[in-house]
Structure 1
Amino acid sequence: MRDFHDPKRSPIYAANGALATSHPLATQAGLDVLKRGGNAVDAGVTAAAVLAVVEPAMTAIGGDGFALISKPGQALYGLNSSGRAAAALSTEMLMGQGWSEMDDASPHAVTVPGVVKCWESLLASHGTIGMEEALQPAIAAAEHGFVVYPRVWSDWTECVPKLTAQGAGGQHYLVGGTAPKMGSIHKLPALAATLKTIAAQGAKGFYEGAVAADIVAELRARGGVMTEEDLAGHSADPCTPVSAAYRGIDLAELPPNGTGITAQIILNMLELFDLSALDPHGVERFHLEIEASRIGYAIRDAHVGDPATMGADVQALIDKAWAKGLAATIDASKRNAELPSADPNFQSDTIYLSCVDRDGMAVSLINSVFKGFGSGIVTDKTGITLQNRGAGFRVLPGHPNTIEGGKRPLHTIIPAMAMQGDKPKYCFGVMGGQYQPTGHAHVITNMVDFGMDPQEALDSPRAFWRPDEVLEIEPTLGQDVLDGLAAKGHKVGFTKSPHGGGQIIEIDHENGVLIAGSDPRKDGCAMGY
């Protein structure tokens, strides 16, 4: 239980249904669906569509989607609707043009958007309403306008140079060459019209016809090679989640090309340390978390990509015996300058929302455009922000994640579900680009090892490192923690922006109650009834 003298919020308790998102308008729209009798998928898709309008730096219909669904009496269901690279792309082609790494502002970084097919597939397989009904709140927000919230405004402002440089984005998303003012009302008429087309025609209205032609024309004008056939061929693919045990729960993540197994690798190592004996906000806890994460991310970078081209077996990567050897390389007294080998013994072989309905269906849903406003490329006629997920590829012949036509890139967005037996315990996710696997490990250990409720687990300060290996801790951890980590050999500083966001719903099956939290690093909230 939180300290009531500390100005933080309590979790939401609900008996009939709960929804947690990163924006109040999305939470309200989804909750309205639940209260009308819709299920968790209906509410989740409705809320996600609203987020694609009101939180435009984070998500869009030009992005990707993944989901996990737990339904009583059924096996855990996973859906991968991430897009593929244009068929005409190849490592050889880009190297011939002088590329050695991906350019996240290039049209070649734009993969086929997967989120619209994600929504339609989820509604078809598990929902009770159709796209037309689910999109109405999003259409209303785009057509009549929405108020720009503080965190949304902050993210928007940071992306002004990108939108300006890329052209049409300024037409739809800038006012007088800058971001709309915080607290002002912003309208997106072109996007509203596109959403109406999708509502009337379903996903076909996005992947074929005039909308698809506009996407292709925009990319072709910039030197891209995507075709209408690339768009029409997109599929949202059901997949079997991967589970790994951690102190009495089973953490379920989607398999690659997502990076959820990275969180499992990290937790496999942390399970070998007595975290509960440590201060949850102390130097020792964060040192262990970061050292395990550094190893986990090195393994991710070496092996994870499109499963069709991965050489490593997923079960080998999350093997407990291998984790024991990895954990033995972690020195509790200092930062390891040299990480252990990223190769297991193969012989043994970034928006997020959580929703649970009155019938016990739990939905863990995540959509994203990767970087802020994705590639920054926005279609002129249809107002679609296009993701830059292709920036997750390598330009490195022979690497499992090197770019090739029709491949899916390594993907950072990872919905999660923590199970106890055959029932969901925590329906959760953590946003924040590369931070997400560490974020999963952080909130799970907060709840399992330190007994925090969902809101406390999300409020808890965080630490993560930049690519140049500077460990950035949130200022709420204080100077003592910064100094203590520095003494262990970390190059450390205070972060200027918070690490990610997140939503969690805990399911208390014994009492029939839902306990929901929403990350204070965003504008959102949890609500229930």
Structure 2
Amino acid sequence: MRRRSFIASLPLAASPLLLPDPAGAAPATTDGPGQGSAPHGQPAAGTLPKFQPEGAERFERPDVHAGDRPSGASFASRSAAMGLNGAAGTAHPIATQAAIAMLRRGGSAVDAAVAANACLGFLEPTSAGLGGDCYAMIWDPKLQRVVSLAGSGASPRGLSLETVRQRARNGVIPKLGAISVSVPGALDAWWTMHQRYGRLPWRTLFEPAIELCEQGAPVPQIIGYYIKRNLKAFLRPGSGVEETANAMHTYAPGGHMPDEGDVRRNPDLARTYRMIAGGGRDAYYDGPIAATIERYFRRIGGWMTRDDLRRHHSEWLDPLVTSYRGTEIYGMAANTQGLATLQMLNILENFDLRDAGFQSPLSIHLQAEAKRLAYEDRARYYADPHFANIPVSWLISKDYAAQRAKLIQPGRILTPVHPGEAPSHGDTTYFSTASADGLMVSMIQSNFRGMGSGLVADGLGFMFQDRGELFSLQDGHPNLYAPGKRPFQTIIPGFATRGGQPWMAFGVMGGDMQPMGQTQIVLNRIDYGLDIQAAGDAPRWHHEGSSQSMGEDIAGLPPNGLLRLEAGVPTATRAALAAIGWTIGASDGGFGRYECIEHRMAGRDRVYAAASEMRADGVALAY
């Protein structure tokens, strides 16, 4: 069979969703590029294509698709990289190379992950850095099980709920400025992992990042686009950022916004890394860096102190786990949305998605409805378990999932949608690494929205996260703001095992998209048989409009939310989904960015396959 016929040849189940409206109704859309008309500045269909203008952000031709591959899925961008000794996949090629270099020097997968993350703090400041949090799931070959580490910082102990409410806008915590800053947990997470699994000296892990900061690196296309967009947001009147001079000095010296191909340097971050390389985690949390941070927040009227930093420590946790058609899928516990992936999979296990068909309207409808049900629970129950009694066992149970699955109907949208009634008792970078000894790391790190709060402490070269925005201000809610409490977290690494052995270390970056993205990867692999590269390259969906307990709800959305579909979703699928009432939104780039390492055994040989995707600037390598 020719690969270009792959989608069209898959079976479709009998359902009102299988065909477009007989009347030929077009999908309902919101205003946006790429929906029904040519984007501004692009030729209309049927005209000769023009070359992309110099400096243009996109070159869109809806009638042009990727070239034909002689093997595998027609839509795959490349083959997975394979090797016997180790693998790494990150959102930047240089960070991936740094990870591979650590493995070649005899380092563990944790050494490689820390080195890559340090590089990403410079190379990809829009998603990573010393001012953010970090989570990891690790396959421990000696223990023969998955362990997880939560590196999530708490709110400042001197910032009261009353003050937060006084600073709130429209009843929610502002997105930017000191009010949204919580203690950064990333560096302590690196240190904690290295203490248990590191092989190379701590200082060695920072050598590539320090060299990059001092010598510079060219700005990639997507990262450059997001740096400029974030800096413009910080500078906007009324943004809430107390001071922007440090951010501009760090990311746009001389007022020059970075363009693709410009060489960026960050000598301030190099000095910070040197202090950490020599002084360990205490240099950051109870040393010269902590002192600088305290002085800075005092100067701008913020709240974080050296004592807040000193008190922070990461915690090892048993991950959550469920089975999906015989495969064990793991999710982060603690204060994350990792449970949402498992809830969605539990619900979808009640349907025959293979029979529904890959990229069929029925398959996407079932997935989107499972998301809506799981995210109602996410808004109602998810929070820091140190402050709230979360009914995890009930939420993750197969019986509860079966009850929720019965609410989903193939030919109509569930309206309204509510969280379950619990029993009375009770923007991001992802990367993965693997070493020859079988150690595998699934790791995610973020400053949260965009580059973070907009705040860069004097001379340190990194921006603080705005994760505190995700607290709720609703009385009685488990995620209600409190001093010294960790906010709800969106960042979640993924991991899967089969037969008690590791299978995939994977993740999909991108805010609320992460459980949706992880679920789609699992379905693509298990239900539709795609390899790890095609599973990430396949077109995705993203639903917006579920209830939120944090942040400001998106205004003006239709009652059932907005279902965004990437351009590769078949036209007939779009029409059928619109025919039953889904409002189809423009493809806006919010479909996450994926990395994955797969573990295989070929006789006595361990083989790693590594995949990245076209939605980011990154690459996956193996050796």
TM-score by length of structure 1 reads 0.96
Amino acid at match of 1:389: R
User: Aligned-pair distance for 1:379?
Assistant: 1.6
1:155 paired residue number: 226
Structure 2 partner of 1:495: 587
| Range with bigger deviation, 156-165 or 321-330 | 156-165
Conserved? CA contact 1:82–1:115, under 8 Å: yes
1:29 to 98, 103, 118: 98
Instruction: Confirm or deny that 1:386 pairs with 2:471.
Output: no
Alignment partner, residue 361 of structure 2: 283
Cα shift readout 1:357-395 (whole Å, capped 9, x = no counterpart) = 111111111111001111111122212210001111111
One-letter amino acid of the structure 2 residue matched with residue 276 of structure 1: R
Q: Measure how far apart 1:225 and its partner are.
A: 1.4
> Of 66, 79, 104, which aligns to 2:149?
79
Within-5 A mapping of 1:213-232: 213-232=291-310
Matched residue, 2:129: 60
Distance 2:533 2:224 in 1: 24
1:10 partner letter? S
Aligned-partner Cα distance in 2 for 1:17–1:225: 43
**Contact 1:22/1:519 (<8 A) preserved:** no
SS class of match (2:410): coil
1:87 maps to a residue whose letter is: R
- Comparing 352-361 and 483-492, the one that deviates more: 483-492
Equivalent position of 2:485 in the other structure? 407
Instruction: State the shift of 1:478 in Å.
Output: 4.5
Counterpart of 2:522 in structure 1 is 444
Report if the CA contact (8 A) 1:299-1:343 is conserved.
no
CA-CA distance at 1:12 after TM superposition:
1.1
2:227 equivalent to 1:133: no
Q: Indicate the SS of the match to 1:381.
A: coil
2:249 to 165, 171, 181: 171
Alpha carbons of 1:507 and 1:324: their partners in 2 closer, same or farther (altered >3 Å)? same
Contact conserved, 1:251 with 1:419, CA < 8 A, in 2? Answer: yes
Give, in whole Å, the separation in 1 of the partners of 2:540 and 2:388. 31
Query: 1:346 offset after TM fit, Å?
Result: 5.4
Equivalent residue for 1:263? Answer: 341
Q: Which stretch has the larger CA shift, 67-76 or 197-206? A: 67-76
CA deviation after TM superposition for structure 1 residue 494, in Å = 2.0
Q: Is the 8 A contact 1:246 1:268 kept in 2?
A: yes
Choose from 263, 267, 283 the match for 1:205.
283
Counterpart Cα distance in 2 of 1:521 and 1:527? 17
SS in 2 for 1:202: helix
CA deviation map 1:266-311 (0-9, x unaligned): 0000011101112322221111111101111110110011002233
Q: Distance in 2 between matches of 1:19 and 1:160?
A: 30
- Alpha-carbon offset, residue 179 of structure 1: 2.3
User: Of 503, 513, 521, which aligns to 2:615?
Assistant: 521
From 111, 133, 140, the counterpart of 2:182:
111
Instruction: Tell me, in whole angstroms, the C-alpha distance in 2 between the residues paired with 1:479 and 1:443.
Output: 22
1:178-214 deviations in Å (ceiling 9; x for gaps): 4212111100011111111111101111112332122
The question of whether the paired residues in 2 share the 8 Å contact of 1:498 and 1:521 is answered with: no
> TM-score scaled to structure 2, two decimals?
0.82
Deviates more, 1:54-63 or 1:83-92: 83-92
Measure how far apart 1:345 and its partner are.
Answer: 3.4
Partner in structure 2 of residue 91 of structure 1:
161
Conserved 8 A contact 1:62-1:385: yes
SS in 2 for 1:77: strand
Corresponding residue for residue 509 of structure 1: 601
- Contact 1:482 1:493 (8 Å CA) reproduced: no
CA distance in 1, matches of 2:450, 2:69: 35
- CA positional deviation for 1:96: 4.4
Aligned length: 528
Deviation string, structure 1 residues 232-263 (Cα, Å, up to 9, x no partner): 11101111111111111111112120111110
1:176 and 1:342 map into 2 onto residues whose CA distance is: 54
Helix, strand or coil for the counterpart of 1:300? helix
Aligned partners of 2:470, 2:300: CA distance in 1, in Å? Answer: 20
CA contact (8 A) 1:322 1:344 kept: no
The alpha carbon displacement at 1:107 in A equals: 0.6
Range with bigger deviation, 304-313 or 115-124: 304-313
Of residues 83-92 and 246-255 in structure 1, the stretch that sits farther from structure 2 once superposed is: 83-92
Partner of 2:69: 4
User: What are the residue-to-residue correspondences of 1:350-499 with 2, within 5 Å?
Assistant: 350-467=428-545, 468=557, 469-499=561-591
Q: 2:390 and 2:168 mapped to 1: Cα distance? A: 29
Moved more, 159-168 or 368-377: 159-168
Match of 2:53 in 1: none
Q: Is the 8 A contact 2:468 2:487 kept in 1?
A: yes
Q: Please give the per-residue CA displacement for 1:472-503, whole angstroms capped at 9, x wherever unaligned.
A: 11122144332222112111122222411011
Counterpart of 1:433 in 2: which secondary structure? coil
RMSD: 1.7
Q: Determine the C-alpha separation between the residues in 2 that align with 1:222 and 1:330.
A: 51
Deviations 1:395-417 (A, max 9, x none): 12211001101111110010111
Contact 2:467 2:489 (8 Å CA) reproduced? yes
TM-superposed CA distance for 1:509, in Å, is 2.4
1:180 counterpart residue number: 258
Aligned to 1:15: 84
SS at match of 1:213: helix
Look up the match of 2:118: 49
Q: Which deviates more, 222-231 or 161-170?
A: 161-170
CA contact (8 A) 1:256 1:304 kept: no
Q: In 1, distance between residues paired with 2:487 and 2:177?
A: 15
Aligned partner letter, 1:524: G
Residue 476 of structure 1 aligns to a residue in which SS? coil
Q: How far 1:339 moved relative to its partner?
A: 1.1
> Considering only CA atoms, is the larger Rg found in Structure 1 or Structure 2?
2
> Matches of 1:228 and 1:212 in 2, distance apart?
5
Change (3 A) 1:343 1:177: farther
Pairwise CA distance, 1:16: 1.4
Contact 1:33/1:42 (CA < 8 Å) preserved in 2? yes
Q: Is the contact between residue 168 and residue 174 of structure 2 (CA under 8 Å) also seen in structure 1?
A: no
Aligned residues of 2:150 and 2:334 also touching (Cα < 8 A): no
In 2 relative to 1, CA 98–528 (structure 1 residues): closer, same or farther, beyond 3 Å?
Answer: closer
Which residue among 316, 319, 325 is the counterpart of 1:241?
Answer: 319
Tell me the alpha carbon deviations over residues 73-97 of structure 1, each in whole angstroms, 9 at most, x when there is no partner.
Answer: 3032111011100012232332245
Which one-letter code corresponds to 1:147 in the other structure?
Answer: P
Letter of the 2:276 partner, please give it: I
In 1, the alpha carbon distance for the partners of 2:510 and 2:168 equals 31
Once the two structures are TM-superposed, the CA of residue 343 in structure 1 deviates from its matched residue by 2.3
Rounded to whole Å, the distance in 1 between the matches of 2:223 and 2:287 is 32
Is the CA contact (8 Å cut-off) linking 2:383 and 2:390 kept in structure 1? no
> 8 Å contact 1:517–1:526 — kept in the other structure?
yes
Alignment pair present for 1:334 and 2:428:
no
Q: Could you tell me whether the CA contact under 8 Å between 1:91 and 1:396 is conserved in 2? A: no
How far apart in 1 are the matches of 2:423 and 2:399? 10
Match of 2:139 in 1: 70
